[in-house]
Structure formats: structure tokens, C-alpha cells
Amino acid sequence: MTQMNGAQALLHMLELHDVTHVFGLPGETTIGWYKEWRAHSNIEFVLTRDERTASYAAEAYAKITGKPAVLEAPSPGVTHCTPGITEAFLSSVPIIFFSSDIPVNQDKKHGLTGVDQTALYNSICKESFTITKVADIPFLLRRAFRVATSGRPAPVHIRVPINIFGEEANLTDLYAEPDYEHYPAHRPVADHSKIRQAIDLLLCASKPAIVVGQGGLISKASQTILDLAELLQIPIGTTTPGKGTIPENHPLSLRVIGARGGMEHANQYLLDADMIFFIGTNTDSAATDHWKLYGDPNTKTFLHLDIAEAHVGNNFPLKLGMVGDARATLDYMVELIKTEHPNLNRPKVDLTDLKQTALDTVFNANIPMPDGTLSPVKLSQALDRLMPDDAIVTSEPGVSAIFPSALLTFRKAGRRYITNYSMGALGYSVPAAIGASYAHDGPIISFTGDGSFGFVIGDMETIKRSGKNVTIILNRNDSFGWIRGEAILLDDVDEPWSTDFGGVDYIKVAEGFGFDATRITSHDDIEPALARAIANQGANFIEIRVPTQDQIVPFVPSWVRAARAKGLPHFS
């Protein structure tokens, strides 16, 4: 039996669960926790300048480490965490989110900062509960980690009234459950008979393809997906969030598919396929070009494997659905194939020439850029030549993500390309770079646009203070370019309303925060500027002016179709 106050008990339980970092921001309702933290714990508190930043940083940290991240926010800023928690919920990322609060029911007296936090987070967390007594802390922390990391991973919200930090109790159950320190905590195998049926269907297909979402990365199933593909000689395409599940220079890799960076060769291959095997994807609108990617769904056979039963068969009619962990299920599938089909001899498939031709066509297109702008293709091409294998790239919706998604080649499997294409809110990439930098020792490269950058400029101070090797690449066009492109290309608007904004001297801003800052003004300057930034072990900032999406149309199938009809320059 050990006597502890609530602050001590929370810290002790986090330490038992091997937590080393917590992302957050201080407030009056957490002073009692910080007092004990400073005196008694070595857990590093990563101070950000905005709770939204902390939430996105935690989400990216969990993606890279394979461990549930811990986020903390005070009651005045509790609403600011909703963007990151929502992204984590939709992306199946486990976050243990503590929000301190005024005493229970004081909100009914209109106490300052009082709001029903539990109701607020119930819809975007697997569970949301309130600690009402210190004696419950060990049980509730074990439950939080267990719920967050089991099944389909997702955030769990824990509300901590201010009085809990100072109240004491004699605790008899101070232990953790090691299974839930990482995710996935358990690996259920899909129904064995269905696995055998899936093998038979795959063997009978004439032109099958595998489509992997970020569930393949969550499950750490890269090698077993590759084993299956090589056994059966089936090409693999990934969604944008699933980029890097297998090496993209592998002969069977189609690279990214869909409407957010999918090149025409990859999307066309899926349209021509007679069977699609979905693995770890929720078949959302972005990955399927609004569910048009595969043509008439009645003309081909669909199989689907996912840990989330609600995802299986949600958008396409299935011949066979399997609910289970991707790695465990596919390991068994591979074992069965090797045992029961020992003399299997499938015709070799090699997509190397197809991919290289597609890339060369883009790299050699030399489409003239509007005055004062440079080619985002040239930027991605240069980074692809220079990017170390241990680099992590973060990006967000818009021109800053589409070109890297399509053109960067990740030659080693793993989660090293971080996007927020589940919710798709702006202001993600820079906070994600912060989280990634605390999860990983290699260089972090953050692609952002000026529309997004305006959300997060304050946290340049966080990057500088951290001393981490982070390079921000700002794609500047003084516009919310995605909305501008959508309006002009698809809605036939002559001049979009309220998409353009005033210019800022971002170099002065970056230098004011202590960054090494460079403005690229010619294509010849791109590679030297990138090389200097990657080599500099500190905070780096690169600005490059690029066209808006209506001027040079990127790899978005619906936009490309519109560009062809209107005779506009485009990449496909």
C-alpha cells in the first residue's frame, strides 16, 4: 500500500507504461500536477505554443513510435485540441489525452473555463471519462491504455478536476499491463476458413491488385504484405496515408493511388484489374477518387481485410470480408500458401519500367511556370535525390502534399511519410514535424503551404527551442490554393471569392525565430538549398513560390479531367 496524491499517481502510472514524453501547454488547472512533475518525474514535457499544435504533435509522435502518445491540456484550452484528436480518431492513432478542469459541477455555477469536457470528446474518442477519486487512477489509466491500443486504435480522453492533483489515497494496485504500452496490443487472426477462401480467389484472379491503407503501417505488416505479393506476384498500391508500407522502388509497387497524389499509371492499373484486395484501408473518398477509382464495382471482385469490422465492405460489394490484424492474418495466409502450394509458379510482374516512364514524363515535362513561380515538381525531384533513408517527411493537404505524395520515392519500408488525410484540416505539417522530431533522431522535412503556415507560426519557437533537426519548406502562393483550384476547375468559377490573402516576408519571420532561412528564386538554387538545410543540425526554413492549383494542375484525377477539357497545363 502506497500513499500518493493524484498528481503523483498519474505520473507513476505513466512511468509504468513506459511514457517518456508528454505534449501540452500549462494552465491554472494543471499547476498542481506540474509541481509534482518537476520534483519527482523524468518524463519530458514538450511545451508547445498552442494546444492544437500539441495535439497534432502527439498524433505524429504516436505514428512514428508505435506507442500511444500522451497529450495534456488545461481547461481554458481544452477545445483547441479537437483538431488533433479528431485526426487521431479517424486515423486510428492512440492518444491518452488528459484535460484538467475546474472542480466537478463548478461549471454549473458558471465557473470560468467550465464546459462539459466529457460530452465534448465522447464523439471523437473511444472513451471519455472523469477521475473523481485518486483511488481510481491506477485502474482508469490501465483501462485507458488498454482501450486506446486494442482493436482499432484511437484516443481516450481523461478529465482530471483540479482538486484531484492534491487529494491523497492509499493505493494497492500500482501496476501496468505491458501489452498496452505499444500498439497494436493484440493481433487477432481472421476466420481461418475465410483466409483459405481468399487464397483460392487470389490464385484464380487474372489481374489482381492489392491496395494498402495506413492500417498496414499501424499493424507493421510491411514484410508480410510484401511476402504475400511476391508469392502471388500481385502489384501493391498504397493510399496516401499508407505511403511507404513497402519500398516504392520494389518491382511490385504501384506507388500511391487515388485522388491525392495517385499518378495515372497506378490508377489505371487498378481500373483494369479484375480483383482488388483491400488491406487496412477504410476505402474513403480521397483514396478512391470519390469511389470512382475502380469503375463499375460490379465488374470486379473485392476482398477486404481490416481490424475494424465497420470498415470491411463499407463502400464496395465484397466477395469476401475478413476481420483481423493485417500482419497476423497475412502471416497465416503466407504460411498456408507455402505449405499447401509448394510448387506455385506465378508469372513474374515487374512494374519498374511503367513507373519510371511515368516519373520521367513528369520530370521532363518542363511545363512553363507562371511568372515569379518555380516548379513544385523540380522541388520534389531534387529532394528525392537528396533525401536520406532516415528522413521523415510531414505534409498536409494542398500543393505541399500532392507533389511529394506522388513523386518522392521511399526506398525502405516504414512510416516515414506523415499526412493528415483522414480529416484534412490545415495547420498539420509543422506540428507533426515537432512530434516526429521527438520520436526520431533523423532529419525531419516539413512541407507546408502559406495557408496552413499561418495557423502555426508561433510554434516555430518550439522547433528552435527544441534544438531538433527540422526543415520547413514553405510552398508559397499567397492563396488557399486548394479551394481556388476546386472552384475554378470543378465549379467553373471565374474568380474565387475569399481565397487569396496578403503577402508576408516569411524570411524575416523565420529569421526572427532564429531559423536559418533561405528563399529559392531559381530552379538551380533548389538542390543546394535543400542540401544545406538537411545537413544543418538545427532549425531551417526554405521558401519557394509555386503556382496555385488552378494554374498548374497537380495529381488529382477529377482536376486533371477538367484541365484536359479546358486545355490547362497539368501533371498526371
Best CA proximity match to 444, nearest among 546, 533, 544: 533
pLDDT at 109: 65
Where are the chain's structural domains?
2-181, 192-351, 365-566
pLDDT at 111: 64
Q: How far apart are CA 239 and CA 419, in angstroms?
A: 11
- State the helix-helix crossing angle for 192-204 and 326-340, rounded to 10 degrees: 60
Q: Strand, coil or helix: what is 169? A: strand
Residue 554 near residue 572 (C-beta atoms within 8 A) = no
Residue 415 near residue 63 (C-beta atoms within 8 A) = yes
Best CA proximity match to 270, nearest among 258, 285, 286: 258
Tabulate helix, strand, coil % of the chain (nearest 5): 45, 15, 40
Residue 568 near residue 553 (C-beta atoms within 8 A) = yes
CATH number for the domain formed by residue range(s) 192-351: 3.40.50.1220
Q: How far apart are CA 106 and CA 560, in angstroms?
A: 55
Q: DSSP code of 165?
A: G
Q: Which helix (H) or strand (E) holds 88?
A: helix 82-91
Q: Identical fold at 192-351 and 365-566? A: yes
pLDDT at 543: 98
Residue 299 burial class via C-beta count within 10 angstroms: exposed 0-12, middle 13-18, buried 19 and up: exposed
Q: How far apart are CA 559 and CA 569, in angstroms?
A: 11
pLDDT at 399: 77
Residue 557 near residue 262 (C-beta atoms within 8 A) = yes
pLDDT at 178: 96
**CATH 3.40.140.10 corresponds to the domain 365-566:** no
CA distances from 380 to 209, 408, 409 (A): 27, 6, 10
Residue 122 near residue 73 (C-beta atoms within 8 A) = no
Q: How far apart are CA 331 and CA 147, in angstroms?
A: 25
Best CA proximity match to 171, nearest among 19, 290, 1: 1
pLDDT at 253: 98
C-alpha cell at 378: 523540380
pLDDT at 83: 96
pLDDT at 171: 96
What amino acid is encoded at 480 in this protein? F
Q: How far apart are CA 135 and CA 315, in angstroms?
A: 45
C-alpha cell at 559: 482536376
Residue 530 near residue 385 (C-beta atoms within 8 A) = no
**Reported pTM:** 0.96
- Phi/psi of residue 261, nearest 5 degrees: 110, 5
C-alpha cell at 372: 515569379
Residue 534 near residue 473 (C-beta atoms within 8 A) = no
Question: How many other CB atoms are there within 10 angstroms of residue 319's CB atom?
Answer: 14
Q: Strand, coil or helix: what is 516? A: strand
Q: How far apart are CA 513 and CA 453, in angstroms?
A: 14
Mean pLDDT by 10 residues, the chain (572 residues): 94 98 94 93 97 98 98 93 97 97 74 80 96 97 98 97 95 97 97 98 97 97 98 98 97 96 95 98 94 95 97 97 98 97 94 96 93 95 95 89 94 96 93 98 95 95 97 95 84 84 95 98 97 95 94 88 89 89
**CATH 3.40.50.150 corresponds to the domain 2-181:** no
Q: How far apart are CA 520 and CA 542, in angstroms?
A: 7
Q: How far apart are CA 420 and CA 433, in angstroms?
A: 12
What amino acid is encoded at 103 in this protein? P
